[in-house]
Structure 1
Amino acid sequence: MLNTLTTSLVETNARERAFSILDIGYEILGPFDRFESPHLTAQNIVPQYDDGMIIVKGTLDEKQAVVISIEGSFQGGGIGEVSGAKLAGTLEKILAECKNGQLIYPIIIYDTGGVRLQEANYGLLSIAEISSAIVELRNYVPVIGIIPGKIGSFGGMSLTAGLCSALIMTREGRLGMNGPEVVEQEAGIRELDAKNKQLIWQMIGGAIRTDIGFADFIVEDDVPNFRQAIKDIWNGKVECKHRVKKYNEFLALFKSLDIVEKIQPHRATDILKTLGNVADKSLFQPHTTVDSRGRSWFNALTNNATSISEIPSVLVAEGELQGKRARFITVVPNPDNKYYRARNGEVGLLEGWALAKYISEVIEEDKSVAGKRLIVPIVDVPSQAFGYHEELFGIYLACSAAVNAYATARIAGHPIVAVLVGNAISGAFLAHGMQANRLIALNDEGVNVHVMSKKSAALITQRTIEELDEFSKDVPSMAYDIQSFHKLGALYQLIDGVNATKPNKEDIIQVIESVHDAYEDIVAKGSTSLANRLHSEIAISSGRQASIKVREMIDEQWK
């Protein structure tokens, strides 16, 4: 029973939350439209008519606003094709209105574990589109995120929270990239004991996230408090911190950090409060060169250019591709990385902030240049880093910063062609590759796309690996292989007949021609959005039909 003196946001469902924030509003694409996920019944899962995503359009304090609220009690608030399209499509519609001079203020209420594993790669595609919309929308209106509890914001959705103009949390809220159970599964109980609830809240709870500046408000759980915080952000009483743009400060801090022993949460708070006051000494970092697909293709496409990056696990080089200026960038293993959970090519704290730095440099350097530089992310990332220090110090924000840089570059007119040469897994792929105008991939068994390792996916869904493999036969988005990902319609080209591990001269020429073809297509089409992934023949005929229909229905019901 609710406290009669307060109106709780934590204890209410997503629909009640959305309506309680606004003065008045109506629901778009609600349960009576009976539009459910087409991918759950085949897996013996009962779908829900609103697919766990609530959209309410109305007013607050005489401003036009839309609240998008995620229902944590349905599939853990997971993002699938329909729910993801509802969130992305709504933000895209608000963006279109803002561009036409009609300002509408978005508010996202998070209660989500990230991608819905039963739909896997549909969730990845949706989160990339959500992220892109947030980055562009921030140029017109503040994008406000609320994390009240009980689940919090995790997985790929934590990256979208990191992109918000401002975040409001309660003490019950949690914000992190990898759930504690997944960190324990991947790294062991010595790395993080998921049952130590007090430690978990000290690491990623609303109090510490606000204290260290990762969130802007901590409020007591009463609806008027949330409404007032929103108004204060709108009215400029709270300055938006633009955390994802502080790549130089965060890089300096994490390069200097000593993590030989575990840093306790109270100490982490003190450390993060020194942000911007740490001298960047740019000391040489020891590293051992390890062969990887990312390194091989970086060398191949740059003609063995020397990396200009200060971070050994992020290779960056300037070059040309058929006469076009280009920046090439990839993430590679570094067995000597002091962040030991990021030694095998994972995107960790250093890698995320370094990606943000070297993409942001291109934007700044080409600000006044008509022909924007081509950016070529070479993708071979097994995952983000699963570790104690990574969660404590906000790996989600490091990955958000990389997403922000790539999306900003694309929106500014930089053609981005990502080349998938190896693994493209989870938040690492969202941070490095998924914001590209075009995705091309080698048709090779070593090229895989997914949201999580099979071991962890089985843990979260309470299934066996064999069961997951069986379901993926009917639901291609659950599969890991690149051929299944191609069926979703997001790839511009799947390249056959190339040696992915040891490319010869002909292989290199073939990939260069594919990148150039994608570049020419970007220039010819002129679009700086990710909409091409919905307009491909495969997407229209089968791969993204529900995503397309959701957007059509939002448009029909908007007014």
Structure 2
Amino acid sequence: MKNSFVELQARERVYALLDEKSGRELIDPFDQMIAPNLVAQGIVPESDDGIIVCRGTLDKQAVVVIATEGKFQGGGIGEVSGAKIIAALTHVLEENKKGNEIIPILILDTGGVRLQEANYGLLSISEIGNLIVALKNYVPVIGLVPGRVGSFGGMSITSALMSYLISTKKARVGLNGPEVIEQEAGVREFDSSDKDLIWNTIGSRQRLQAQIVDEIVTDTVEDIHQAVSAAIKERKDSKRSQRADFYLSLLSELDLSKPMNIEEYNQALVNHQEKEVALPTIEEAKAPVNTSVGYQWFQALSDYTQPKSSVPTVYYGSSNKFDEEVVVTSIVPDEKNPMYRVRNGEVGLVEGFRMGQILEAVYEEDKDKQIKRPIVVVIDVPSQAYGYNEELIGIHVALANSAAAYAKLRQTGHPVIGVIAGNAISGAFLAHGLQSSRLIALNSQEISVQAMSKESAGRITNRSIEEIEAASKTVPAIAYDIQSFNKLGAVYTFLEDVISQETTQKSVEKVISAVNKAIKDVRSSDDRMLTNRYTSDIAVNGGRVETNKVFTKMNEEWNG
């Protein structure tokens, strides 16, 4: 197509948006910031690691345009590529705080986490999301999904955090790719060979009707440039990651025990009027109502003895077991859940929106207090929900509501301390845990931390499980065990001698002590961002070496 924006490569897309001769690329291919983790696996790297960052102007407005190259590793985010985005957005935030207005524009053509660097991708995406939440206090963050790959995985959560999302009719947006849903839930749940089903569910035209994309434009450079410029000038903001009550009241009107008809869902969405939804209530039961790790640790850390929630998968409550009053949160399984894809503790639509609602209530209760209550996040989430209904309605939006709420609390002065007591997988971890100021982890062999199951990762990367396991011995970021995750530098306290997930008196005492120390550290440093993850000793000396190299280079080049 003549003058097609979609057909351009990432660098060409960036310069097509910028005013002529205004663009200056930061950390360009000549800087040779490649991904060593790819080299270690025998994968040919790119000299820009698939991320283009440019300062310039768009209709004379100062901007930074960031684009993912979908033709390299599916636009996936790893350590170097993620660090380039994080470093650029950090500078944009600092400039806006100084009163130097710069608008960030992100062009997404990405499958999400780069599975060959899995946990680096998860960390990076959470840190990108954190910066977007902070930036929206100053300027709109504009997202553009032109099409080719689309926007999937954790980066779909990122897209839902943005102020305004523009696409062409050639784009797709969803948390779980069709092949992954089929692998995890079966072909009856989602047939990845059915192209009509795919486009009717996650294609941009349906996403516009589902209020997941804000605007569809013709695939020309001129039309896309005009749409982005108008979004900036008009300060457009859909507040998509702050719509918990809207979606919770909508979900209460739908029958989600079976696959929804698309037309019926669209009509329900059009007719729906937002209603205020009461918060879940937690009461004492006569006996424990759950046996999951997440439930038992909520039980151990909160003031409840045998808690029972009116929303069976979502728990929260005050605790006076720490040096100061805290709020404890957890997500647990419900084997009788009518939403059949979340019966094993997965984070689904209700869980994401409910956690966003609960955390917003905490914010409102504490916003005028000088000292904000800490949040203790019990992390035991096996994955996000893999389901047709979830994708149709927009599970990535639900997870974005939770992630944004945790980030907002942390940025406004609430220490957020995550306790990895169980599994911490993929989008579920991004929504519930990875926005923590500090992470504390048990040293249990039962705990897995990763972006995707081995079976799905193998299918997407065309590798056998044996090949993935062999590669993880040289690249800890793609391993599944908590010990390997600890090597990346994101864990503040690794409780090496707590080798069981059981809530014994000794284990609970150690966790409470570790949480108290983490809260004090956050308070004393007034750390409201996530910088501790790449400035810790483990990160600096091994876990995030490449991240820090990128930051240093971006600091050198930012002002030319």
The TM-score normalised by the length of structure 1 is 0.96
1:97 equivalent to 2:91? Answer no
Contact 2:443/2:499 (8 A) holds in 1? no
- Structure 1: gaps of 5 or more residues: none
Question: Offset of 1:98 from its aligned partner?
Answer: 0.6
Question: Offset of 1:325 from its aligned partner?
Answer: 1.5
Q: Give the match for residue 545 of structure 2.
A: 545
Q: Give the match for residue 198 of structure 2.
A: 200
Contact 1:250/1:275 (8 A) holds in 2? no
2 CA distance for matches of 1:542 and 1:282?
43
Q: Which amino acid aligns with 1:453?
A: S
Aligned length: 553
Q: Which amino acid aligns with 2:336?
A: D
2 CA distance for matches of 1:282 and 1:94?
36
2 CA distance for matches of 1:322 and 1:447?
25
1:241 equivalent to 2:230? Answer no
2 CA distance for matches of 1:292 and 1:276?
36
Q: Give the match for residue 249 of structure 2.
A: 252
2 CA distance for matches of 1:304 and 1:316?
10
Q: Deviations over 1:331-363 (max 9, x none)?
A: 100011111001100000000001101111111
In 2 relative to 1, CA 135–283 (structure 1 residues): closer, same or farther, beyond 3 Å?
closer
Q: Which amino acid aligns with 1:341?
A: R
2 CA distance for matches of 1:401 and 1:432?
10
Question: Offset of 1:386 from its aligned partner?
Answer: 0.3
Contact 1:134/1:164 (8 A) holds in 2? yes
Q: Give the match for residue 17 of structure 2.
A: 21
Q: Secondary structure at the match of 2:552?
A: helix
2 CA distance for matches of 1:183 and 1:546?
33
Q: Deviations over 1:230-271 (max 9, x none)?
A: 1221222x7412021111121121133102432122222112
- Structure 2: gaps of 5 or more residues: none
Q: Secondary structure at the match of 2:542?
A: helix
Q: Give the match for residue 516 of structure 2.
A: 516
Q: Tell me which moved more, 26-35 or 276-285.
A: 276-285
1:265 equivalent to 2:265? Answer no
Q: Give the match for residue 500 of structure 2.
A: 500
Q: Give the match for residue 216 of structure 2.
A: 218
Question: Offset of 1:151 from its aligned partner?
Answer: 0.7
Q: Secondary structure at the match of 1:248?
A: helix
Q: Secondary structure at the match of 1:251?
A: helix
Q: Deviations over 1:440-473 (max 9, x none)?
A: 0001101221000011011111010010000000
Question: Offset of 1:405 from its aligned partner?
Answer: 0.1
Q: Give the match for residue 293 of structure 2.
A: 293
In 2 relative to 1, CA 282–50 (structure 1 residues): closer, same or farther, beyond 3 Å?
closer
Question: Offset of 1:70 from its aligned partner?
Answer: 0.3
Contact 1:176/1:394 (8 A) holds in 2? yes
Q: Secondary structure at the match of 1:385?
A: coil
1 CA distance for matches of 2:302 and 2:254?
32
Question: Offset of 1:32 from its aligned partner?
Answer: 1.0
1 CA distance for matches of 2:272 and 2:513?
44
Q: Deviations over 1:68-100 (max 9, x none)?
A: 000000000010000000111111110011111
Contact 2:163/2:236 (8 A) holds in 1? no
Contact 1:22/1:58 (8 A) holds in 2? yes
Q: Which amino acid aligns with 1:496?
A: E
Q: Deviations over 1:171-196 (max 9, x none)?
A: 11111000001000100010011111
Q: Deviations over 1:186-207 (max 9, x none)?
A: 0001001111111111111111
Which of 114, 119, 127 lines up with 1:129 in the alignment?
Answer: 127
What aligned pairs does 1:47-446 form with structure 2 within 5 A after superposition? 47-236=45-234, 239-277=236-274, 280=277, 289-305=289-305, 309-446=309-446
Q: Which amino acid aligns with 2:246?
A: E
2 CA distance for matches of 1:455 and 1:223?
40
Contact 1:296/1:501 (8 A) holds in 2? no
Q: Which amino acid aligns with 2:16?
A: S
Question: Offset of 1:505 from its aligned partner?
Answer: 1.4
Question: Offset of 1:543 from its aligned partner?
Answer: 0.7
2 CA distance for matches of 1:148 and 1:31?
23
Contact 1:307/1:317 (8 A) holds in 2? no
Question: Offset of 1:308 from its aligned partner?
Answer: 8.0
1 CA distance for matches of 2:239 and 2:303?
37
2 CA distance for matches of 1:276 and 1:407?
28
Contact 2:289/2:306 (8 A) holds in 1? no
Q: Which amino acid aligns with 2:228?
A: I
Contact 1:147/1:167 (8 A) holds in 2? yes
Q: Deviations over 1:261-306 (max 9, x none)?
A: 3212222211222343467589999x99331111111101114356
Contact 2:79/2:124 (8 A) holds in 1? yes
In 2 relative to 1, CA 270–307 (structure 1 residues): closer, same or farther, beyond 3 Å?
farther
1 CA distance for matches of 2:64 and 2:179?
33
In 2 relative to 1, CA 216–11 (structure 1 residues): closer, same or farther, beyond 3 Å?
same
Q: Which amino acid aligns with 1:261?
A: K
Q: Which amino acid aligns with 2:62?
A: Q
Question: Offset of 1:310 from its aligned partner?
Answer: 3.8
Question: Offset of 1:546 from its aligned partner?
Answer: 0.5
Q: Deviations over 1:461-489 (max 9, x none)?
A: 10100100000000000101111011111
Q: Give the match for residue 473 of structure 2.
A: 473
2 CA distance for matches of 1:22 and 1:282?
46
Q: Tell me which moved more, 511-520 or 307-316.
A: 307-316
Q: Which amino acid aligns with 1:487?
A: K
2 CA distance for matches of 1:278 and 1:367?
23
Q: Secondary structure at the match of 2:152?
A: coil
